[in-house]
Amino acid sequence: MSFNTLGLSEDILKAINKKGYTEPSPIQSKAIPPILEGRDVLASAQTGTGKTAGFTLPVLQILSQKQQLRQRPVRALVLTPTRELAAQVYANVKEYSEFLDLRSAVIFGGVNQKPQVATLRQGVDILVATPGRLIDLCNQNILSLSKVSIFVLDEADRMLDMGFLRDIERVIKMMPAKRQNLMFSATFSQDIKKLAHGILNKPVQVDATPENSTVDAINQKMYRVANGKKTDLIIKLISDGNWKQVLVFTRTKHGANKLCKKMVSAGISAAAIHGNKSQGARTKALAGFKNGSIRILVATDIAARGLDIPLLPHVINFELPNISEDYVHRIGRTGRAGASGEAISLVSADETTYLRDIEKLVGLKIPQEILEGFEPDPNASTEPKKQGGGGRNQRPQRTAPKSESSSKKTKPSSDRSGRNRR
């Protein structure tokens, strides 16, 4: 299939061509036609499937065909759970709209609002935003959503995980009732289905990934290992394999920092990315990782969500996530755009319950290996580790009480996850 058959305008095709895309990804060929028809869409797609272009391209087309309003009120709103994802979606919007007379902007917390306000005052057709700052600016009457005709809820599952349900409801109340709605989610829990039911009007359902299953192209394996030997094992795997670009997941911010330091001491360039890092530090780490000056990016789930890093060859779970769906999100970072990838998990005895839950979710027994010198401790307890203090390693907690907007001042260091272990 070619992009030419989807009904996109010459100016949009030109931008696609400039990006070097030769054909639409499955989610794009399935989602673009109904969106162009003005239908509501519920799409199952993870990061890496090309979902951003899947909604951005038709939204741009629709807006560019409608008459421009003199004051340029926001006509399309894309809501994303994290700042990084907002920035990436915005970068895509900019690129795809290069040859169109449309203005776009991105707003998120953790940075000074002044430049964002200045941009908004000039008029913006497409706004990409995280909920907290968006609501703040609306409450200050700096921004109005009363002319929004297309609403995109990106990574809806993560929105709920991060406790943004109330904020989503608030945002919806600020928009006209008559509008087109597009909702993207990697997983479909009952909560997501309920949210979709409340927002979408007779949606067309499109699937790019089977429900809660992992992409076939990903080669999954795990090493059973003693907890105290994980750091040495990961360093050995990376060094022996001479891996150049590895995304490593830890469960906690503290764990990410600690591992990062150990990597650096072992002579492996690494950076950590998590909720306590300033926006600048995160952007710098991501840029270094993309340009190859940083080999290892150690991340927590929330921070890694939506990062646009194409063709990642290796993802390592230094610790298993205690929420099984996060495993699917994590390993979805490899095997992108049809390339094969490898997802490796280091599993200690106390993570046995998490492993069982994950295998149940993905419907697969993940092949195990044990490396000589890194054998698991046969006497170690299989009980999930209690670490006290922040309720770490508790069983999954799907909703969070505190969101970005509920803390009026959004500090760069604020951890917007309700799951206090991030």
Tell me the three state secondary structure of residue 257: helix
- Cα separation, 45 vs 172, in Å, equals 22
Tokens of 58: 């038709």
Closer of 155 and 161 to ligand AMP (Cβ): 155
Nearest partner of 152 among 128, 135, 133, 169, judged by Cα? 128
Is residue 130 part of the contact set for ligand AMP (CB under 6 A)?
no
- Cα separation, 394 vs 384, in Å, equals 8
The 344-363 site mask, x for binding ligand AMP (CB under 6 A), equals: --------------------
Backbone angles phi, psi at 219, to 5 degrees: -90, 110
Closer of 24 and 275 to ligand AMP (Cβ): 24
Residues 181-210 that bind ligand AMP (CB under 6 A): none
Min dist. Cβ of residue 219 to ligand AMP (A): 20
Closer of 25 and 250 to ligand AMP (Cβ): 25
- Cα separation, 342 vs 360, in Å, equals 20
Residues 166-185 that bind ligand AMP (CB under 6 A): none
Closer of 53 and 93 to ligand AMP (Cβ): 53
Q: State the CB neighbour count (10 A cutoff) for residue 261.
A: 13
3-state helix, strand, coil in the chain (%, to 5): 40, 15, 45
Is residue 341 part of the contact set for ligand AMP (CB under 6 A)?
no
Closer of 83 and 421 to ligand AMP (Cβ): 83
- Cα separation, 282 vs 272, in Å, equals 8
Is residue 95 part of the contact set for ligand AMP (CB under 6 A)?
no
For tokens 């076939």, what's the residue?
Answer: 216
Min dist. Cβ of residue 89 to ligand AMP (A): 8
Is residue 310 part of the contact set for ligand AMP (CB under 6 A)?
yes
Closer of 3 and 354 to ligand AMP (Cβ): 3
Q: CB of 318 within 8 A of CB of 258?
A: no
What is the DSSP pairing of strand 41-44 with strand 180-185?
parallel
Integer-rounded Cα radius of gyration of the chain: 21
For tokens 């600690």, what's the residue?
Answer: 258
Q: CB of 75 within 8 A of CB of 215?
A: no
Min dist. Cβ of residue 324 to ligand AMP (A): 21
Closer of 11 and 95 to ligand AMP (Cβ): 95
Is residue 308 part of the contact set for ligand AMP (CB under 6 A)?
yes
Min dist. Cβ of residue 165 to ligand AMP (A): 24
Min dist. Cβ of residue 60 to ligand AMP (A): 14
Residues 12-71 that bind ligand AMP (CB under 6 A): 21, 24-25, 28, 47-53
Residues forming contacts to ligand AMP in the complex (CB under 6 A) are 21, 24-25, 28, 47-53, 308, 310, 337
